[in-house]
Amino acid sequence: MDSQFVRTGPLMELASYPQWLQEIVAACSESRRTVVEHEIFHQMHLGMLPPAAMKRFLTSFWPVIEQFPQYMALNLLKVQYQLGAGHAMARKYLIRNIRVEQNHVEYWIDWSQAHGLSRDDLLFGWRSSNADALSHWCWHTCERDPLPVAMAATNYAIEGTTGEWAALVCNSSLYERGFPENIRKQAMKWLRVHAHYDDTHPWEALEIVATLIGHRPQRRDVAIIESAIVKSYEYMRTAFDDCLAAAATSHMPHKKLGRLEAAPICVSS
């Protein structure tokens, strides 16, 4: 069998990809579930996330949002066009999406401001060590690791789960209705864009990973990719845990949030 991979099935069907990659996705599924089904998004979906937790979430993940175009630029530096189809695909994907990710930075600022946070709160606000660890991990893998590993950890694992939890929050109007009507559209733009646009984005990254590695990877390469994906999920989960803990103890400055400040607190069973 030719070791090169060329996708013939639908982009968004796992069966279209090499067996080794299907096995990685299956092995990582439980870790992925702890991210996309995290309690923080169930509470956000219901419009019941405590304000302290919401503010902690927005400030904690700001570094990853702000630096995501830079992560992709670091990966772009690894591309060698003459090395074949995988590198050519990665080059086109990364160049196309760096500008898109920069727009998402501005949408995150709008979302944060709708919750009463200033740019200074995002830039200089307190973050837990777990939140910092996520951004440090993303930078490290994109700077140091091989191209397929870094793209699996960021463009597949982080963007893929982000699209899923954003869709969960958006499939109810309860959270959206917490904003005053005159800022509602602007406040929800980051969530709306990710709930729809990112449907195919992580699948495209998965296709690039498969094309770069081929049908017959070294066992070590498979293990490294799987480990990188799981690390991304685990760093996200622990950072989300810290955000929920902020409902009881907040290091953030208190600001009036209008209607959203009065949202009830959901007590999980």
Residue 134's nearest CA partner among 192, 62, 77, 184 is 62
∠ CA(35), CA(37), CA(43), 5° rounding?
110
Give the start-to-end residue ranges of the domains of the chain.
Answer: 30-249
Domain 30-249, CATH class in plain words = mainly alpha
- Whole-structure pTM over 0.85, yes or no? yes
Residue 6's nearest CA partner among 79, 80, 85 is 85
Inter-residue contact 195 to 167 (CB < 8 Å):
yes
Non-local CB neighbours of 181 within 8 Å, separated by 6+ positions: none
Q: Rounded to whole angstroms, how far apart are CA atoms 25 and 29?
A: 6
Query: Each residue's pLDDT tens digit in the chain (269 positions)?
Result: 458 999 999 999 999 999 999 999 999 999 999 999 999 999 999 999 999 999 999 999 999 999 999 999 999 999 998 889 999 999 999 999 998 888 899 999 999 999 999 999 999 988 999 999 999 999 999 999 999 999 999 999 999 999 999 999 999 899 999 999 999 999 999 999 998 755 788 999 999 999 999 999 999 999 999 999 999 999 999 999 999 997 766 544 444 333 344 333 333 32
Inter-residue contact 205 to 93 (CB < 8 Å):
yes
Residue written as token pair 């406040």: 187
Inter-residue contact 244 to 136 (CB < 8 Å):
no
Structure token pair of residue 189: 């733009």
DSSP 104: H
| Residue-level pLDDT at 265 | 32
Inter-residue contact 47 to 177 (CB < 8 Å):
yes
Q: Rounded to whole angstroms, how far apart are CA atoms 259 and 114?
A: 11
Neighbours of 67 (CB within 10 A): 18
Q: Burial, 1: exposed, middle or buried (Cβ in 10 Å; 0-12, 13-18, 19+)? A: exposed
∠ CA(178), CA(182), CA(187), 5° rounding?
60
Give me the DSSP letters along 118-173: -HHHHHH----HHHHHHHHHHHHHHHHS-HHHHHIIIIIIIHHHHHHHHHHHHTSS
